[in-house]
Amino acid sequence: MDLEREALLEISKIDLSKYSLEELSLDREVALNAIFDDRVEEFEDLNSDETLEFRLDYLKLPNVRKEDYLERVIDLGEHKKVLCGIRHFGGNKEMSFVSLATNFSLESKEEALQIYEMIKKHFSVFRPLYLSFYSKVENIADFYGSIDMVSLASQIKKITPWHGEDNLEFEPITDNSFYDWYKKGYEEFHEDRKDLKAKVTVNSLEVMKGSIEASLIFYACINGEKVGLIAAERSDYLGHPGVYFNEIFLMRNWKGKGLAKAMQRKFVAKFCKDNELIWGTIDSHNLPSFNTAKANGRKPIRYECFINLESK
């Protein structure tokens, strides 16, 4: 095993400790292998000439060279190593941040900033706004991004059906004709919640096609009226069978009636196997989606942490 792969394995072992897995009873060796495989794949992809050239051409940032986009493993001494690279929120050249992962436990915001001082020369050309890392607790950052919300399908199925489930029907979506309706619904949502426009975005048609191919996308209907949409894909989580929710959406007039949690529970009951992990990543600012997932027994098991760098 070369030095980089060895470092990635050490970092993956720490990555595993950043998930609260106590209630999920997962095979930890399987989970570690999945994390390591993902780390290696991402590292090799981000450092490929094709990806480096694409990022350079797409962002067109002044004074930035192709090699500035490299994902780096940096030796800090005393057997401490850090994996780091530049990222941009939604491809926005004005919103850059440094992604950080270590082969040792990161215990505090101050420790993260100390590490950044040791590596910042590699990223100064980007003028990053934030430093990013993951944690299973939520008390060591300035703000939080996505939250992994997870539960076993068998646990969700035990929840008593919610009010409104009897009248709720799922109509299969088999082609792209839904997309304009879905996109318009999001435009209305962003009119009502301008604060979430940049954080809770409409999925691309390409993303939704994955749910169509898996036959896991449906209109939610009440008395024949389309009130929302729910979409998922079968996707492993930490190497274990899983179903990933990429959309649970309600039209404007049907929000606030408890239908989102009814849609989710009934979907799991009808279409998911007991041993499948039901999971999704929810923006920490999207409290309605967070509360919907929590009401159906999904628990926050990992937090994406951000630290402000502008004043540092």
Give buried/exposed letters for 105-130 (b at 16+ CB in 10 A, else e): ebeebeebeebbeebbebbeebebbb
pLDDT at site 32: 98
Q: Per-residue pLDDT tens for 244-279?
A: 999 999 998 998 888 999 999 999 999 999 999 999
Q: What is the pLDDT of residues 239-253, one digit of tens each?
A: 999 999 999 999 989
Question: Which pLDDT score, from 0 to 100, does residue 207 have?
Answer: 92
Contacts of 232 (CB under 8 A, 6+ apart): 211, 214, 216, 217, 243, 244, 245, 246, 267, 271
The angle formed by the CA atoms of residues 142, 202 and 149, to the nearest 5 degrees, is 50
Q: How far is CA 214 from CA 174, 207, 211, 243, 293, in A?
A: 10, 12, 5, 11, 22
pLDDT > 70 in the chain, percent: 99
Q: Apex CA 109: angle with CA 106 and CA 112, to 5°?
A: 55
The confidence band for 205, taking pLDDT boundaries of 50, 70 and 90, is: very high
Contacts of 118 (CB under 8 A, 6+ apart): 74, 76, 82
Per domain, the residue ranges of the chain are 3-140, 149-301
The answer, as to whether pTM is greater than 0.85, is yes
CA 54, CA 12: separation in Å to the nearest integer? 27
Burial level of 3, CB count in 10 A (0-12/13-18/19+)? exposed
**How many angstroms separate the Cα of 88 from the Cα of each of 61, 95, 112, 151, 303?**
12, 5, 19, 30, 18
Structure confidence at residue 25 as a pLDDT band (50, 70, 90): confident
User: 135-139, 237-241, 273-277, 300-304: which range is least confident on average?
Assistant: 135-139
Q: 103: burial class by Cβ within 10 Å (0-12, 13-18, 19+)?
A: buried
Residues in the chain: 312
Q: What is the mean pLDDT of residues 160-182?
A: 94
Q: How confident is the model at residue 311 (pLDDT cuts 50, 70, 90)?
A: low
- Of 176, 228, 234, which Cα lies nearest the Cα of 206? 176
- pLDDT attached to residue 130: 97
Question: What's the maximum distance between 2 C-alpha atoms anywhere in the chain?
Answer: 66
Average pLDDT over residues 88-114: 93
Please state the CATH superfamily assignment of the domain spanning residues 149-301 in this structure.
Gcn5-related N-acetyltransferase (GNAT) (3.40.630.30)
As a whole number, mean pLDDT of residues 78-86 equals 96
List, for residues 30-59, the tens digit of each pLDDT value: 999 999 999 999 999 999 999 999 999 999
Contacts of 36 (CB under 8 A, 6+ apart): 8, 9, 12
**To 5 degrees, how large is the angle CA 90–CA 304–CA 78?**
115
Pairing state between β 130-135 and 143-152 = unpaired
> For the chain, first and last CA: distance in Å?
38
Percent of the chain predicted with pLDDT > 90: 82
Among the residue ranges 132-136, 163-167, 226-230, the one predicted with the least confidence is: 163-167
Per-chain mean pLDDT for the chain? 93
Residue carrying structure tokens 């990053």: 128
* Position 8 pLDDT exceeds 80: yes
